Amino acid sequence: MNDKVKELAQRGIALSTEDRSRLVDLLLESLHESPTNEVEAAWAIEIERRLAAYDSGEIQSVAGEDVFAKARSLAR
């Protein structure tokens, strides 16, 4: 842990319980925002790619029941 982080931790510990709780929430939220946005963006691109492939006839749809039946048989 570098000095800056140690100092921030000491200052954070000195906060009231309510303020520490708010700080924790903000820090945790900041950790989850970036990957979530990146994942959502990647999925949006993948969805567009799959939709274009479906529309062009490159791929066909498969009924969900069939997919799950095959997955169950492979899991055995």
Q: Would you state the structure tokens that stand for residue 41, as one six-digit string?
A: 């963006």
Mind listing the pLDDT tens digit for each residue in 38-76? 888 899 999 999 999 999 999 999 999 999 999 999 998
Distance CA 32, CA 71 (A): 31
Name the packing angle between helices 3-13 and 17-55 (round to 10°). Answer: 120
Task: Write the single-letter amino acid at 65.
Answer: E
Domain assignment of residue 61, given as a range: 3-75
Q: What pLDDT band is residue 32 in, cutting at 50, 70 and 90?
A: confident
Helix and strand numbers, DSSP H then E, in the chain: 3, 0
- Counting the structural domains of the chain, the total is 1
Q: What pLDDT band is residue 33 in, cutting at 50, 70 and 90?
A: low
Q: Which pTM was predicted?
A: 0.46
Predicted confidence at residue 19, as pLDDT, reads 95
Q: Examine the pLDDT at 35 and tell me if it is beyond 80.
A: no
